[in-house]
Structure 1
Amino acid sequence: MKIEFAPLNIPLERRLQTAAVLQWVFCFIALAQCCLAAFVLLCLSDLWPLAALYAGWLLLDWDTPSTGGRRSQWVQGWRTWRYFKDYFPISLVKTAELPPQHNYLFGFHPHGVLVAGAFGNFCTTASGFGGLFPGLSPHLLMLPFWFKVPFIRDYLMSGGLVSSEKRSVSHILSRPGGGNVAVLAVGGAPEALEARPGALTLQVLNRKGFIKLALKHGAHLVPVFSFGENELFDQLENPAGSALRGLQERLQKLMGIALPLFHARGVFQYSWGLLPYRRPIRTVVGWPIAVPLTPSPSPEEVDALHARYLQGLSQLFEEHKGHYGIPPHRYLNFI
């Protein structure tokens, strides 16, 4: 394989963009392990009283990721995230007004490998969510596993990330006064195994739990499609039925997280590495679907709202695909 090296005269701005994305990728693939190792070493060192104090704090704070989290406007506004946004670049597209007197459940599609669009738009202030949707506070839902790891849990919550447990979503959607948004990557870990350039397959047909929660709390549903999300990484071939796919699915069931074997470009060369490609991400927030408060929704009511949601998602995709380079003959594939 011929290696394409990065030129030496790259502007400082682009180098800072690469550094911002590099630390973000590191957080996803290695920060949890580093934090756990640091805590163990702290316990075994002369500084063990600090570890004991943190363990006590952890017990007292255990439920915070499921009760709205603990965001930090300072962390969300770091200049690092502006460089992160500009690397791809990421943009947020508004199609309708979302009155802040309601609570909302955003269905984010597709999951992609590392949900870069969801993070950039809903966990930072870089793309201007607050200006586009005044009065709304987004909370990106993440697997509960990550909030059990010392130190990293606090960092994640500072960005507005919260646990994806049902009680966590219910807490956000039931807050009085409105203005709260739960952002869910509906396809979850299984969909990450499908994420590769050109992929338009969404795991959504059998995912109705979020529909039921929206009904229970009368939260308005909003389909969100992130054009370019699947274009950031290549994956090793893992077709359904292959040995690799079978191993990935078993690990996903065991650990609750997906392990896509992805690759794209490196820091000093463009031929191979774990950095995403510099490809634009346009995250389009669709029209809200009004949902009546239904404390005990029937299966028929869930199915009817699910069908309306899929229709709204398809319409959103069809109306905007031509603007973002998707040919007219390409359609979403729901599985």
Structure 2
Amino acid sequence: MKIEFAPLNIPLRRRLQTAAVLQWIFSFLAMAQCCLAAFVLLLLSDWWMLALLYASWLWLDWDTPCSGGRRSHWVRTWTVWDYFRDYFPITLVKTVDLDPKQNYIFGFHPHGVLVAGAFANFCTESTGFSRLFPGLKSHLLMLPFWFRVPVFRDYIMCGGLVSSSKQSLSYLVSHPDGGNVAVIAVGGAPESLDARPGALKLQVRNRKGFIKLALKHGAQLVPVFSFGENELFDQMDNPTGSPLRTLQNRLQSVMGVAMPLFHARGVFQYSFGLMPYRTSIHTVVGKPIPVSQICSPSNEDIDRLHAVYLQSLSDLFEQHKHDYGITVDKHLTFI
């Protein structure tokens, strides 16, 4: 394989963009493991008392990820996130105003490999979420497992990440004064196994838990489609039924975390590596679907609203796909 190296005269601005994305890749793939290892080493060292003090704090703070988290405006406005945004670049597109007196569930599609668009738009202020939607606070839901990792949990909560448990979502969307946005990558980890350039398959047909909670709490549903999300990485061929896909599905069922074997470019060359391609991401926030509160929704209520949601998501995609380079013959597939 011929390696295409990056030129030496790249502007400093682009080098800083690459560095910003590199630290994000590290935080996504390895920071949790490093934090856990550091905590264990501290516990076994002469500084073990510090580890015990933190463990006491962890015990007292255990439920915070399920009760709104602990956002930090300072962390969300770090300059590094502006460089991260400009690497791709990433833009947040508003189609309508949202009432800050309501609570919302944003259904984010597609999941992609590393949900880069969801992170930039809803865990930082680099794309102007608070300016576009004044009075609303965004919270991206993440697997509960990650909030058990010492120190790492505190870092990700600063960006507005919270647990994806039912308790956490209910807490957000039952806020009496409104103003909360719970962002859910509906396809979850399994959908990341299909994330590759050109993919338009969404695992949403049997995902109805967020629909039920929207009805139970009267939260407004908002479809969100992130154009370009699947274009960031290539992935090894893993068709349904293949040995690789079978192994990935088994690991996902045991660990709760998908293991997509992705690749794109490197830091100093463009031929291979774990850095994403410089591909534009346009995250379009659609119109809210009005939801009337039903304390004990029936299966028929859930199915009815789910069908409306799928139609709204499809309409959002069809309305905007021409603006972002998707041909007229391409349509979403719900599985």
- Normalising by structure 1, we get a TM-score of 1.00
In 2, Cα distance between equivalents of 1:28 and 1:126:
18
Is 1:189 equivalent to 2:156 in the alignment? no
Aligned to 1:21: 21
Secondary structure of the corresponding residue to residue 24 of structure 2: helix
In 1, Cα distance between equivalents of 2:294 and 2:76:
34
Aligned to 1:227: 227
Deviations 1:235-284 (Å, cap 9, x if unpaired)?
00000000000000000000111110000000000000000000000000
In 1, Cα distance between equivalents of 2:281 and 2:291:
29
In 1, Cα distance between equivalents of 2:309 and 2:160:
25
Deviations 1:110-146 (Å, cap 9, x if unpaired)?
0000000000000000000011100000000000010
Q: Which amino acid aligns with 2:273?
A: G
Secondary structure of the corresponding residue to residue 68 of structure 1: coil
Deviations 1:54-78 (Å, cap 9, x if unpaired)?
0000000000000000000000000
Is 1:122 equivalent to 2:122 in the alignment? yes
Deviations 1:207-256 (Å, cap 9, x if unpaired)?
00000000000000000000000000000000000000000000000011
Aligned to 2:102: 102
Is 1:331 equivalent to 2:331 in the alignment? yes
User: Any unmatched runs of 5+ in structure 2?
Assistant: none
Q: Which runs of 4+ in 1 moved over 4 A?
A: none
In 2, Cα distance between equivalents of 1:265 and 1:30:
18
After the TM superposition, which residues 1-335 of structure 1 pair with which residues of structure 2 at under 5 Å, given as runs?
A: 1-335=1-335
In 2, Cα distance between equivalents of 1:179 and 1:146:
25
The percent identity for this pair of structures is: 73
In 1, Cα distance between equivalents of 2:49 and 2:190:
41
In 2, Cα distance between equivalents of 1:142 and 1:43:
27
Cα offset for 1:99? 0.5
Secondary structure of the corresponding residue to residue 251 of structure 1: helix
Secondary structure of the corresponding residue to residue 317 of structure 1: helix
In 2, Cα distance between equivalents of 1:44 and 1:167:
35
In 1, Cα distance between equivalents of 2:40 and 2:314:
48
Deviations 1:277-303 (Å, cap 9, x if unpaired)?
000000000000000011100100000
Secondary structure of the corresponding residue to residue 83 of structure 1: helix
Deviations 1:35-63 (Å, cap 9, x if unpaired)?
00000000011111100000000000000
Secondary structure of the corresponding residue to residue 226 of structure 1: strand
In 1, Cα distance between equivalents of 2:243 and 2:88:
33
Deviations 1:155-179 (Å, cap 9, x if unpaired)?
0000000000000000000011101
Secondary structure of the corresponding residue to residue 269 of structure 1: coil
Secondary structure of the corresponding residue to residue 26 of structure 2: helix
User: Any unmatched runs of 5+ in structure 1?
Assistant: none
Cα offset for 1:315? 0.3
Cα offset for 1:332? 0.1
Secondary structure of the corresponding residue to residue 30 of structure 2: helix
Q: Which amino acid aligns with 2:169?
A: V
Deviations 1:284-326 (Å, cap 9, x if unpaired)?
0000000001110010000000000000000000000000000
Cα offset for 1:11? 0.4
Secondary structure of the corresponding residue to residue 199 of structure 1: coil
- Normalising by structure 2, we get a TM-score of 1.00
In 1, Cα distance between equivalents of 2:314 and 2:72:
35
Deviations 1:84-127 (Å, cap 9, x if unpaired)?
00000000000011010100000000000000000000000000
Q: Which amino acid aligns with 1:47?
A: W
Number of residue pairs aligned between Structure 1 and Structure 2: 335
> What CA RMSD, in Å, does the superposition of the two structures yield over aligned residues?
0.4
